[in-house]
Amino acid sequence: MPVYHRVTQGEFLAQIAAKYGFRNPATIWDDPRNAQLKKKRKSPHVLMPGDILVIPDKSEKRQEAAVTRVHQFVLDEPKVKLRIALKDWDGEPLKSMECVLKVGSQIYNLTTNAEGVIEEEIPVTATEGTLTIKEMGEEIKLQIGHLDPSSEETGWKARLRNLGYLAEPGEPDAQTLRWALEEFQCNNGLKVDGTCNDQTRAKLENTHGS
Amino acid sequence: MSGKSDPPISKATAGGLSAVHPTLKPRDTIPVAPAFTNELNTYQLTLVPKACWKVEDMRFAFDSSFVLPEMKEELALLAELISQHSEEREGVRRKPPLSIFGHADPVGKDDYNKTLSGRRAMAIYAALTRKTEMWERLYTQPFGGDNWGNPAVNAMLGHLGYSSGAPTDRAKAFQRASGLKDDGIVGPRTREKLFLAYMDSLCGENLKLTPEDFLAQGADPNGRGDYQGCSEFNPVRIFSQEEEQKYSRPENKNERNRENAPNRRVMIFLFRPGRKVAPARWPCPAALEGPDACRKRFWSDAQARLANGPARREFKETRDTFACRFYHRFAVNSPCESPLPPPKGFAFLSVIVFFHQQPIADLAVEFFAAGADGKPGAAVGEKVKTDEDGVAKLLKPVPIGNYVCRVQYQPETVVCTVPDIEDPFILVLPIGRPYYDFENDFEFTGRKQR
């Protein structure tokens, strides 16, 4: 019997798959019963709390083994790739920038590439981390898997925040939000009207990279 | 009254102030999505000032970019601010990069105001970096009312101590002291020496910057990113329709000019050491360019922001008077553009002096903590003078309590008790009475809580 999984904040496909014991998350995502959700969400790692994911029944994996010996089956800890582009205030990539990514007890010393990007395989169970860019005096607290789809208000606001247009914590007031939208529109050659229309949302998603 | 430490607030002088911006709390945690295929997350830095410095119109010659000697006082605050925000890194002391913004009032044409505000920003930049050739440019290329001319030369000579005798003799004395031929003609060579000596005196030893100390590090020959004029696009005060109509009449020109004074200012923002901008990516046009590029960065409702409405608007209250969206962010939390209210338990002391229903200017006023008997106790703050509107105000907020003020007015000295109020307290000079007690007219205790 399939399980209907209701997505909660912070969950993403690879993590859900690991929870249900799937080695390959695509098995879930490619299930025909998830076709509608697949159409709605561009990435199974950017889901909305409340989305329903159908978890198909697991198929068995058979392994022949000699009966006279002790066999050890080791499951690798499932990993997921985290990619972050670091940019200066004007959108220029921060190249060759040394930074430290901490996820759980793991510490990764990374350097951004020519596009300002860092990339690391992190445990699929990770929910939070910190990224420190010493040179710029920045310590960024990451909530892994918490990015909502850009079609949702929480999602496009999150992208405005990540892109530096909303720099203060908490819910922005009307003028602050208008500032953020207009500056983003202005910097990206869109019509400047301070409202988050489809075009703006699409551009936000595109600029953010997810 | 004692026991409470000074509030952590801006430092003010008669012609300006310096302040630390409120610390921006870090953004909330950043939500990121792990990649399913090859998706990215982007984290972009922000460019937020750490501190600000402002100098008012009164520190410039009228309608001019000539810096008056009195700006020395504000420049001392700037020196202090820069040192306070410098950071030690790998054995190198790094200064906070600066960017200068000049502002004009809304009288006159945009283009004219753009240039005038730019010239004022330039004048300060030149003084800080000792670029005498920039002053020479301002001097030799007058612009509308901004014509330095002899008054500026005389003011500089006077400030440097060459204050007696005919102008030619003063110039000669300066020339002799500077190792120049004493022909008494203030030509380019004399001006170069004069400008430099004057800049040195204004800024002092400690405040000597290089182009690298600015936000764009002098990368643009016209100073983009380092200094610019905002024309009249970012006023801190916008008159009501009624006021605008009234002030447009020629007989009210002086009053309009006075009421517009807060709009004519030069601001400097200080950023985190190490931050820099590429001039090509900086939206502001150069100081002497026209205002077209400014308009590209306007709020979509900029016209409404600049329009005269039914009531007067002040940026510190409404925060909607700037047309430039780019500038708005630098300034919106800046204590230099909207002075912070006094901290809890503190208030500003001020008094208005009237005599025969007329405000009296230029009177010395002293404030004291009130003793138990209501008589003056310890002096509070410096002695201040009443302005044209008869207002004398202590620039630093004081703890709430009872104060006494003494107004020197010949031949009598008037003493009265001042309650702690933000709005000026009106003191009417008694006629023919040496001492006047307000005890029966006013509540002395003031508000306990704010």
Three-state secondary structure readout of B252-274: HHHHHHHHCHHHCEEEEEECCCC
The reply to whether residue B45 touches residue A145, judged by beta carbons under 8 angstroms, is no
Give the H or E element holding residue B191.
helix B188-203
User: Per DSSP, which regions of B98-247 are E strands?
Assistant: 98-103, 227-229, 237-238
Q: How many domains does chain B have?
A: 2
Q: Examine residue B196 and state whether it is found in any structural domain, yes or no.
A: no
Of B332, B366, B397, the last residue of a domain is B332
SS3 assignment, position A34: helix
Q: Examine residue B310 and state whether it is found in any structural domain, yes or no.
A: yes
Asked if residues A174 and A7 have their Cβ atoms less than 8 Å apart, the reply is no
Of B332, B355, B380, the last residue of a domain is B332
Q: Please report residues of A whose CB lies closer than 8 A to that of B26.
A: 139-141, 169
Predicted pLDDT of residue B429: 52
Q: Examine residue B420 and state whether it is found in any structural domain, yes or no.
A: yes
Identify whether residues B355 and B322 lie together within a single domain: no
**CB-based contact, B329 to chain A, within 8 Å:** yes
Mean pLDDT score, B161-173 = 93
Under the banding of pLDDT at 50, 70 and 90, the label for residue B427 is: low
The reply to whether residue A210 touches residue B39, judged by beta carbons under 8 angstroms, is yes
Identify whether residues B251 and B286 lie together within a single domain: yes
pLDDT in tens, B371-421: 777 677 888 888 888 887 777 888 777 777 777 777 776 545 566 656 555
**CB-based contact, B296 to chain A, within 8 Å:** yes
Identify whether residues B285 and B246 lie together within a single domain: yes
Q: Examine residue B387 and state whether it is found in any structural domain, yes or no.
A: yes
Identify whether residues B325 and B357 lie together within a single domain: no
Asked if residues B414 and B436 have their Cβ atoms less than 8 Å apart, the reply is yes
Predicted pLDDT of residue B439: 37
Please state, rounded to an integer, the average pLDDT across all residues of chain B.
86
The reply to whether residue B42 touches residue A84, judged by beta carbons under 8 angstroms, is yes
Predicted pLDDT of residue B262: 92
In this structure, which amino acid lies at residue B375?
Answer: K
Identify whether residues B320 and B363 lie together within a single domain: no
Identify whether residues B216 and B267 lie together within a single domain: yes
- For residue B427, give both structure tokens: 């003191």
Q: Select the residue from B21, B25, B27, B32 to test the A interface by mutation, using most A Cβ atoms within 10 A.
A: B32
Predicted pLDDT of residue B425: 60
Predicted pLDDT of residue B355: 72
Q: Residue B225 sits in a domain of what CATH number?
A: 3.30.1330.60
Q: Examine residue B37 and state whether it is found in any structural domain, yes or no.
A: no
Give residue B422's domain range.
346-428
* Partner residue opposite B44 with nearest CB, options A82, A135, A163: A163
Give the H or E element holding residue A55.
strand A52-55
Identify whether residues B255 and B382 lie together within a single domain: no
Alpha-carbon gap: A165 to the closest alpha carbon of chain B (Å): 8
Share of chain B above pLDDT 70, in %: 86
The reply to whether residue A128 touches residue B29, judged by beta carbons under 8 angstroms, is yes
**Distance of alpha carbon B441 from alpha carbon B360, whole angstroms:** 22
| B295 to chain A: closest CA residue | A186
Q: Examine residue B179 and state whether it is found in any structural domain, yes or no.
A: no
Q: Which residues contact B315 (CB under 8 A, 6 or more apart)?
A: B235, B236, B237, B321, B322, B331, B337, B338
Of B332, B366, B393, the last residue of a domain is B332
Q: Examine residue B163 and state whether it is found in any structural domain, yes or no.
A: no
**Distance of alpha carbon A31 from alpha carbon A40, whole angstroms:** 15
Q: Please report residues of A whose CB lies closer than 8 A to that of B34.
A: 12, 14, 45, 80-82, 122, 124, 144-145
The reply to whether residue B36 touches residue A179, judged by beta carbons under 8 angstroms, is no
**Distance of alpha carbon A21 from alpha carbon B252, whole angstroms:** 82
* Partner residue opposite A209 with nearest CB, options B26, B42, B277: B42
Q: Examine residue B191 and state whether it is found in any structural domain, yes or no.
A: no
Identify whether residues B326 and B380 lie together within a single domain: no
The reply to whether residue B38 touches residue A192, judged by beta carbons under 8 angstroms, is no
Q: Select the residue from B24, B41, B297 to test the A interface by mutation, using most A Cβ atoms within 10 A.
A: B41
Identify whether residues B286 and B407 lie together within a single domain: no
ipTM over 0.90: yes
Identify whether residues B246 and B107 lie together within a single domain: yes
The reply to whether residue B40 touches residue A210, judged by beta carbons under 8 angstroms, is yes
**Which of A187-201, B79-93, B350-364 has the least mean pLDDT?**
B350-364
Under the banding of pLDDT at 50, 70 and 90, the label for residue B340 is: low
Identify whether residues B240 and B289 lie together within a single domain: yes
The reply to whether residue B42 touches residue A162, judged by beta carbons under 8 angstroms, is yes
Predicted pLDDT of residue B346: 72
**Distance of alpha carbon B2 from alpha carbon B47, whole angstroms:** 40
